[in-house]
Amino acid sequence: MLILGIDTSCDETAAAVVRDGTEIISNVVASQIKVHHPYGGVVPELASRKHIEWIQPVVCDAIDKAEIDSSMLDGVAVTSGPGLIGALLVGLNFARAFAYGLSLPWVGVNHLEGHIAAIFLEEDPPGFPFVALLVSGGHTILYYVTGTAAFELMGQTRDDAAGEAFDKVSKMLGLGYPGGKAIDQLSQKGDPIKIDFPRAYMNNYRFDFSFSGIKTSVARYLQTHSASFEAEIPDIVAGFQEAVIDVLVRKAFEALQEKGCNRLVVVGGVAANSALRKRMEAEAARFGVTLYIPSPELCTDNAAMIAAAGYHHLVKGERGALDMDAFSKGAARKIVKV
């Protein structure tokens, strides 16, 4: 079954063709980084406009690269939320019209479910159940996943997402947007234990997260060391990154312990972080846990993961409604089916 996936949830216009929810035939991601870079973050209105401009060429490119004709598609899967509402509506309306024009079945897909489905595009995917740590620019969530659409929400961030903290710290230090990759690279030149930023373990809320405190703590450090911080930037970002990783690692392994589970899946843009990947690997080896992390290109936003998730809904006979709306928030609850 060949599914066309479409994602326009944030600042990437993405389309992909995936066979049977597991095999990527083509995967096109048009990044709007250059559009938003001067503003230090995503400007929603500009994102929507770029999606309108790019959606058709990107979808055509995905179909061309798959070396198929659109008549060979069996269905369409599109992100319906969460994300920027104007941006989502571009992809959703395009997908709906495209599917209607070709008389194809289509479904709206939860972006977070898509991130988790990315792991099924890799070789040797996990069996069920597994604990999934989803760390992206908009979310930090722990799920206990027992089936393709069976997610138990174990905990989530109470304020900023981990990726958001990377982006904000990057902005404070003038390292540009998006910040995760810049901090990842610069941290390799710094000492992660020289500056000790606080870890919000929140022991009474074992599976919830909070990253706004560490962001404030970095801001305060910069204010109190304003004369000297330029030279310390690699140590500051390495210390910040280490603190975020400590929290993510501890909570993910506690979640595994709680569920008596030995499979851990880490997904979302922050899962592309090289230090996080190394630490997760080391801890997994130590505790006899099998770790699954998608390749970095499948951690960050893409449409192959949306096609992979949509496949399971389409084969079950689910169909999108002509009046389906996009949604910006509240996603964590939308995919909980325990």
CB of 234 to ligand KG4, least distance (A): 15
- According to DSSP, the residues that pair with 140 across neighbouring strands are 135
Cα-flanking dihedrals φ and ψ of residue 87, to 5°? -65, -45
Stretch that binds ligand KG4, among 51-59, 132-140, 254-262, 281-289 (CB under 6 A): 132-140
**Helical pair 179-187 and 162-172, crossing angle rounded to 10 deg:** 70
- According to DSSP, the residues that pair with 150 across neighbouring strands are 147
Site membership for ligand KG4, residue 301 (CB under 6 A)? yes
Site membership for ligand KG4, residue 178 (CB under 6 A)? yes
The H or E element containing residue 7 is strand 2-7
Place of tokens 């095999």: 23
CB of 163 to ligand KG4, least distance (A): 3
Euclidean distance between CA atoms 150 and 181, whole angstroms: 31
| Contact of residue 180 among Zn ion, ligand KG4, none (CB under 5-8 Å per partner type) | ligand KG4
| Contact of residue 300 among Zn ion, ligand KG4, none (CB under 5-8 Å per partner type) | ligand KG4
Site membership for ligand KG4, residue 208 (CB under 6 A)? no
Stretch that binds Zn ion, among 46-54, 132-140, 152-160, 313-321 (CB under 5 A): 132-140
Taking the CA atoms of the chain, what radius of gyration do you get in angstroms? 20
Binding mask 257-296 for ligand KG4 (x = CB under 6 A): -----------xxx-xx-----------------------
* Residue selected from 160, 167, 208, 301 as contacting Zn ion according to rule CB under 5 A: 301
* Residue selected from 48, 80, 136, 302 as contacting Zn ion according to rule CB under 5 A: 136
Q: Which residues contact 9 (CB under 8 A, 6 or more apart)?
A: 79, 81, 82, 83, 84, 87, 88, 91, 111, 301
Euclidean distance between CA atoms 3 and 74, whole angstroms: 6
* Residue selected from 50, 96, 181, 312 as contacting ligand KG4 according to rule CB under 6 A: 181
Site membership for ligand KG4, residue 110 (CB under 6 A)? no
| Contact of residue 81 among Zn ion, ligand KG4, none (CB under 5-8 Å per partner type) | none
Site membership for ligand KG4, residue 73 (CB under 6 A)? no
Site membership for ligand KG4, residue 79 (CB under 6 A)? no
- Identify the sign of the CA torsion 126, 281, 335, 55: negative
Place of tokens 């990253």: 211
75 or 268: whose CB is closer to ligand KG4?
Answer: 268
| Contact of residue 273 among Zn ion, ligand KG4, none (CB under 5-8 Å per partner type) | ligand KG4
CB-CB contact of 56 with 13 (8 Å): no
CB-CB contact of 244 with 167 (8 Å): no
Give the DSSP letter string of 240-257: HHHHHHHHHHHHHHHHHH
Q: State the SS3 of 304-316.
A: HHHHHHHHHHHHC
Stretch that binds ligand KG4, among 39-47, 179-187, 205-213, 257-265 (CB under 6 A): 179-187
234 or 269: whose CB is closer to Zn ion?
Answer: 269
Euclidean distance between CA atoms 225 and 130, whole angstroms: 44
* Residue selected from 166, 207, 240, 292 as contacting ligand KG4 according to rule CB under 6 A: 166
Q: State the SS3 of 28-60.
A: EEEECHHHHHHHCCCCHHHHHHHHHHHHHHHHH
Site membership for ligand KG4, residue 160 (CB under 6 A)? no
* Residue selected from 138, 155, 239, 294 as contacting ligand KG4 according to rule CB under 6 A: 138
Residues that bind ligand KG4 (CB under 6 A): 10, 136-138, 163, 166-167, 178-181, 184, 268-270, 272-273, 300-301
Residues that bind Zn ion (CB under 5 A): 136, 301
